[in-house]
Amino acid sequence: MDDCFLNLIYIMKKNILLLSFLCNFSLLLSAQTNVEKGLQSINRSSAEATINFLASDELQGREAGFHGSRVTSEYIASLLQWMGIPPLADSYFQPFDAYRKERQKKGRLEVHPDSIAKLKQEVHQKLSMRNVLGMIPGKNTKEYVIVGAHFDHLGIDPALDGDQIYNGADDNASGVSAVLQIARAFLASGQQPERNVIFAFWDGEEKGLLGSKYFVQTCPFLSQIKGYLNFDMIGRNNKPQQPKHVVYFYTAAHPAFGDWLKEDIKKHGLQLEPDYRAWDHPIGGSDNGSFAKVNIPIIWYHTDGHPDYHQPSDHADRLNWDKIVEITKASFLNMWKMANEKSF
């Protein structure tokens, strides 16, 4: 057997081994696609970029109905457009007005048409706001799931001596960053979800859950919403000795929500120590309440109150960045199941 023939056999064997390796590697990659690709897209630098911008002094505390909030909504809409996520309707913006009695009379802002009709009969205030809504269409276009966070905060108090801006890094720039990263993770997965996935950014939460209330009362497909996941304040250590602590509220009638997180922490090695709180009727606390009141099952991530809550000192340099990333990963896995599992 001459040397040329031996070399030919050697080259063929080498190519077969290489082809086998590539096939096995391709299979390994395919095993990591979808969920793993989505998880790998979630990172600290993206969280820092979003939160540092939203909590900057230039946004003037993002008070609903004022300049900082409008700039924030434009920023969020531009990111959704840049990612290639289409708006839920013709525009990313869902504008609405809230009314209340003039300032010398006690009263809260209202978005319900019956309340507005009564308020219009006397001297009143009007505040214009807008939600930001994007959606990845699902294979089943008749079912929806929603992940959301409010982007407004408390604005400026010019009478304060010292720092006058309520920057709201934890409340709730942290939650906005999570929704944006989950949107990108769904795209990175390369797989179309079974259900429509709405990415919602609520205005007016600090003034009475106004944005989510308006969405729920005007939504034409309300009965087709299968679940809602909410973020409100996911970046601080209420218990310094437990930096992995997170409160995990969920609708008690859906125990699968609790099982999901337990399974995912174990499977993906997530660095979280949740306080699981099944809630019969989770109508309080944040925008989850607007959905729970109409019997839509909810999940709500929250890291509890802290001394900087609703204070000008709620700054980005006090956040636990690793925990924000881990919560974002865990909630992406929640949303993946909510969007794709037949029932829960």
Q: What is the pTM of this model?
A: 0.90
User: Is the pLDDT reported for residue 8 higher than 90?
Assistant: no
Q: Give the separation between CA 114 and CA 109, rounded to whole angstroms.
A: 13
Q: What are 38-63's pLDDT values in tens digits?
A: 999 999 999 999 999 999 999 999 99
Q: Is residue 13 part of a domain?
A: no
Task: Report yes or no on 17 lying in a domain.
Answer: no
Share of the chain above pLDDT 90, in %: 87
CATH number at residue 326: 3.40.630.10
pLDDT, tens digit (0-9, with 9 covering 90-100), for 75-124: 999 999 999 999 999 999 999 999 999 989 989 999 999 999 999 999 99
- Is position 16 within any domain? no
**Ordered DSSP codes for 92-113:** SEEEEEEEEE-TTS----B-SH
**Total count of residues recorded for the chain:** 344
Q: How far is residue 322's CA from residue 328's CA, in Å, rounded to a whole number?
A: 10
Tens-place pLDDT, residues 177-207: 999 999 999 999 999 999 999 999 999 999 9
CA distance 256 to 262: 10
- Residue 31's pLDDT is 55
Q: How many domains does the chain have?
A: 1
Kindly state whether residue 120 falls inside one of the protein's structural domains: no
Stretch 309-317: mean pLDDT: 98
**Per the domain annotation, does 60 fall within a domain?**
yes
Q: Mean of the pLDDT values across residues 312-328?
A: 98
Strands of 124-136's sheet in order across:
93-101, 124-136, 195-202, 140-150, 225-231, 298-302, 245-251, 273-279
Instruction: Look at residue 106 in the predicted model and tell me its pLDDT.
Output: 86
Domain membership flag for residue 108 = no
Whole-number average pLDDT of the chain: 92
What is the token pair recorded at 4?
């040329």
**In-domain check, residue 14:** no
Residue 35 falls within a domain, yes or no?
Answer: no
pLDDT at res. 24: 40
Domain range for 137: 42-95+129-340
| Reported confidence tier of residue 164, pLDDT bands at 50, 70, 90 | very high
